[in-house]
Amino acid sequence: MQPDMSHQAMGYDRTSIMFSPDGRLLQVEYAKKTVKQGTSALGIVCRDGVLLVADKRITDKLVVPTSIEKVYQVDEHLGASASGILSDGRILIERAQVVAQQHKVTYDEPINVNDIVKDISNIKQAYTQVGGARPFGVSILFAGVDKDGPKLFVTDPTGIYFEYKATAIGEGDQDIKEVFDKEYKENMDLEEGLKLAIRALKKFLGKDFDINRIDGAYIKTADKTFTKIKKQDLLKLK
């Protein structure tokens, strides 16, 4: 019997707070696998700002594409995108919105990107050690511009977070990262970054690529303002 199967049979995956004999939290690992099945989302840091692009994966032709949101505004200078169980992501992003507004009211200045990431990561980590609760089955990309410039972070279901220059989460993340490894340049601007993002999604989605599936936003360093990418801007890149 394989180790994973034996651990399941012995009940080590019945709760998120029980370690298996080899030191693993199986429920947390399952949550990470859930993220891999979610729709693709990617972020790119450019010389003049930071960019988020996501696939909405519209599976029903009767669904109104504009009713599906994959890139969310957290604050004027900060956005987010999620992959995995999007309802989990919505709850955490709404929490981030509240924390950002509380910080602005209390200190009369926008919250730093890494501070909001740390707060959400702390919540995720807490749910890996609480009985009667399950881990959040979602990874979130946070992108923003603060006093230190453009920033891009990924938080995963374990509560770990990392800062990136360019990365992807969800299905096809490895294919997208391969494109970034070969073509990403630190001095590219937002327009060049958007072209790279679309090329990476096209490589993964292939014949399923559709401009109506794309949701995106950018924050420029100059004005620190969250701006949604318009469909006509995407059509110019086809």
Kind of pairing between the strands at 49-55 and 71-75: unpaired
Which residues span the domain enclosing 53? Answer: 24-235
Whether residue 159 lies inside any domain: the answer is yes
Name the average pLDDT for the chain.
91
Whether residue 1 lies inside any domain: the answer is no
Whether residue 19 lies inside any domain: the answer is no
The per-residue pLDDT for 15 is 75
Structure confidence by residue, pLDDT tens digits, 7-55: 554 677 777 778 888 888 888 899 999 999 999 999 999 999 999 999 9
Whether residue 64 lies inside any domain: the answer is yes
| CATH number of the domain that residue 80 is part of | 3.60.20.10
- How many structural domains does the chain have? 1
User: In which band, very low, low, confident or very high, does the pLDDT at 170 lie, cut at 50, 70 and 90?
Assistant: very high
AA identity, residue 211: I
Whether residue 190 lies inside any domain: the answer is yes
Structure confidence by residue, pLDDT tens digits, 73-118: 999 999 999 999 999 999 999 999 999 999 999 999 999 999 999 9
Whether residue 75 lies inside any domain: the answer is yes
Q: What is the pTM of this model?
A: 0.91
Whether residue 131 lies inside any domain: the answer is yes
Q: How many angstroms separate the Cα of 135 from the Cα of each of 55, 85, 127, 130, 155? A: 24, 11, 5, 9, 13
Whether residue 3 lies inside any domain: the answer is no
